[in-house]
């Protein structure tokens, strides 16, 4: 799952080389010879202009789709998104992009009517210039991420958004030894910011709040398992801790165009699940090692459904499960999920989404901090029931079929 938020992959930018310095020797592949004229005399050899230009005053954006070089590799973004003030240009279809550049535009810059941003290499992050993040996928499949706050050159223009799209152009020069650059035009998909509520473009969606308010440093997970009108079982979710001031936000875009978002307003969790297929959804939320809440929601085509959740107190107990040999772990799902009862495929997805789990050791799996209530105990094909009481340990046994 991919979780799209205000934070990126951990990493740090290594030693950055300045953009200045002498030009490299002419590359024979860049030297062109003009065809002979009527006089039979060959024209003088000419050299292609070097696209790596650190003076924004000399930037001439090509009237062609944005392309360039990143980390020594050809870079031609095939997906461009403007999410709030975060512009992402990425190449590659997998979960991790093959190549990617992200520009975090300062929140005080107004984007609604279009904007032009010019950055010189001698400007610093204190000038409220965009902060950058570049990523080149390694041979092991993981991105090599670098964070860039200054020493780069940029000319960026964004037009007015229309029907979820926004036109733009870019000329970017990064301060690295491979002379990374990107120049040309693009059309970005316009997405709402992390702190913006869903709108008509995000329908069908489910949104709501979770009560009571959470406390500082408490980790909240919220998600859904649904069966679409076509019979497919789908799920997604995200989790985050509330910030000191009672705020914070996170979004999962692992199953785009679907998205799962969680944001806090004065310690109150607000969630939304956007661009859902029509169907029946079980929405669930839990505070880590704490109470659980869930509710059903019916989503029609174009629907905008509000489903508020309420955590069922802080009454917690423990489940101790005796298991057969070679059992790896045990998971719980609520036993009272209403009518019609979910089928096995649905419950199989739900048990991993809720993550009420315990690892088997010496023939016993223990699951602590379980909200009071009735549950189905599950491990592979084995099933049994259990009722959890606050402050007590419920003991059950999973027996293999004879």
Answer whether residue 378 is part of any domain: yes
Structure tokens, 365: 């799996």
Question: Which has more pLDDT, 18 or 286?
Answer: 286
Give the C-alpha separation, 90 to 325, whole Å.
Answer: 48
Do 142 and 9 sit in the same domain of this protein?
yes
How many domains are there within the chain?
A: 3
Which pLDDT band, with edges at 50, 70 and 90, does 401 fall under? low
Q: Is residue 33, in this structure, part of any structural domain at all?
A: no
CATH of the domain at 370: 2.60.40.10
5 has pLDDT over 80: no
Q: Which of 73, 298, 322, 309 is nearest to 182 (CA)?
A: 73
Provide the sign of the torsion angle of the four alpha carbons 118, 124, 127, 130, taken in this order: positive
Q: Are residues 283 and 329 in the same domain?
A: no
Same domain, 161 and 16: yes
Using the predicted structure, report yes or no on whether residue 40 has a pLDDT greater than 90.
no
How far is Cα 226 from Cα 338, in angstroms, rounded to an integer? 14
Is residue 29 in a domain?
no
Q: What is the mean pLDDT of residues 70-98?
A: 93
What local confidence, expressed as pLDDT, does residue 45 receive?
A: 54
Same domain flag for 77 and 220: no
| Among 134, 129, 133, residue whose Cα is nearest residue 154 | 129
Higher pLDDT, 397 or 112: 397
User: What pLDDT score does 379 carry?
Assistant: 95
In a domain, 379, yes or no: yes
Q: Average pLDDT of 3-8?
A: 39
- Whether 86 and 121 share a structural domain: yes
Concatenate the DSSP letters of all residues of 339-388 into one string: SSPP-HHHHHHHHHHH--EEEEETTEEEEEEEESEEEEEEETTEEEEEEE
Q: According to the model, what pLDDT value does residue 6 have?
A: 37
pLDDT at site 25: 39
Given 280, 310, 340, the domain boundary residue is 310
Is 21 a residue whose pLDDT tops 60? no
Q: What confidence tens digit (pLDDT) does each residue in 173-210 have?
A: 999 999 999 999 999 998 888 888 898 889 999 999 99
pLDDT at residue 384 greater than cutoff 90: yes
- Closest to 93 in 3D by CA, of 31, 44, 152, 137: 137
Provide the pLDDT for residue 402.
Answer: 61
Structure confidence by residue, pLDDT tens digits, 212-270: 999 988 999 999 999 999 999 999 999 999 888 888 899 998 898 899 999 999 999 99
Residue 38 lies in a domain: no
Report yes or no on 41 lying in a domain: no
Spatial separation of the C-alpha atoms in residues 332 and 360, rounded to whole Å = 14
Confidence grade of residue 31 (pLDDT, cut at 50, 70, 90): very low
In a domain, 278, yes or no: yes
At which of 310, 339, 368 does a domain end?
A: 310
When the pLDDT of each residue in the chain is averaged and rounded to a whole number, the result is: 87
Same domain for 294 and 321, yes or no, is no
Structure tokens at 22: 């002498």
| pLDDT of res. 183 | 97
CATH code, domain with 220: 2.60.40.1120
pLDDT tens-digit map of 292-348: 999 999 999 999 999 999 998 779 999 999 999 999 999 999 998 998 889 999 999
Q: Which of 259, 288, 310 lies at the terminal end of a domain, its last residue?
A: 310
Q: What residue numbers bound the domain in which 288 lies?
A: 200-310
Per-residue pLDDT band for 22 (boundaries 50, 70, 90) equals very low
Instruction: For residues 122 and 105, give the distance between their C-alpha atoms in angstroms, rounded to a whole number.
Output: 18
Structure-model confidence comparison of residues 162 and 18, the more confident one: 162
Instruction: Note whether 16 and 158 are same-domain residues.
Output: yes
190 vs 87 pLDDT, higher one: 87
Looking at residue 339, what is its pLDDT? 86
In a domain, 263, yes or no: yes
Burial per residue of 242-279, b for 16 or more beta-carbon CB atoms within 10 angstroms, e otherwise: beeeeebbbbbbeeeebbbbbbbeebebbbbbbebbbb
Burial per residue of 116-131, b for 16 or more beta-carbon CB atoms within 10 angstroms, e otherwise: ebebebebeeeeebbe
């Amino acid at each position: 799952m991919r979780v799209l938020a205000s934070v990126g992959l951990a990493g740090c930018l290594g030693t950055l080389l300045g953009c200045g310095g002498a030009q490299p020797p002419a590359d024979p592949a860049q030297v062109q010879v003009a065809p002979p004229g009527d006089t039979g005399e060959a024209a003088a050899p000419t050299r292609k202009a070097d696209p790596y230009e650190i003076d924004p005053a000399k930037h001439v954006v090509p009237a062609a789709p944005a392309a360039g070089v990143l980390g020594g590799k050809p870079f031609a973004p095939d997906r461009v998104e403007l999410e709030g003030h975060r512009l992402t240009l990425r190449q590659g279809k997998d979960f991790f992009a093959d190549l990617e550049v992200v520009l975090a535009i300062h929140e005080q810059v107004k984007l609604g009517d279009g904007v032009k941003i010019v950055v010189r290499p001698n400007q610093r992050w204190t000038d409220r210039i965009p902060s950058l993040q570049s990523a080149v996928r390694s041979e092991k499949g993981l991105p090599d991420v670098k964070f860039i706050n200054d020493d780069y050159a940029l000319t960026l223009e964004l037009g007015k958004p229309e029907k979820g799209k926004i036109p733009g152009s870019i000329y970017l020069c990064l301060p690295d030894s491979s002379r990374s650059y990107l120049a040309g035009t693009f059309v970005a998909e316009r997405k709402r910011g992390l702190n913006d509520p869903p709108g008509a473009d995000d329908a069908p969606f489910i949104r709501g709040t979770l009560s009571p308010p959470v406390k500082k440093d408490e980790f909240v997970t919220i998600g859904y398992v649904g069966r679409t009108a076509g019979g497919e079982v789908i799920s997604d979710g995200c989790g985050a801790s509330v910030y000191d001031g009672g705020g914070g936000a996170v979004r999962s875009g692992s199953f785009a165009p679907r998205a799962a978002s969680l944001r806090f307003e004065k310690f109150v969790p607000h969630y939304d699940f956007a661009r859902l297929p029509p169907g029946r959804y079980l929405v669930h939320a839990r505070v880590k090692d704490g109470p659980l809440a869930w509710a059903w929601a019916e989503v029609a085509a174009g629907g905008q459904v509000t489903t508020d959740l309420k955590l069922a107190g802080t009454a917690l107990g423990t489940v101790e499960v005796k298991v057969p040999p070679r059992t790896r772990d045990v998971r719980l799902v609520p036993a009272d999920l209403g009518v019609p009862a979910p089928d096995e495929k649905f419950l199989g997805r739900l048990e991993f989404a809720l993550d009420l789990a315990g690892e088997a050791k010496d023939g016993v799996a223990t699951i602590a901090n379980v909200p009071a209530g009735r549950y189905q105990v599950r491990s592979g094909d084995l099933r049994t029931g259990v009722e959890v009481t606050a402050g007590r340990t419920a003991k059950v046994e999973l027996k293999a079929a004879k």
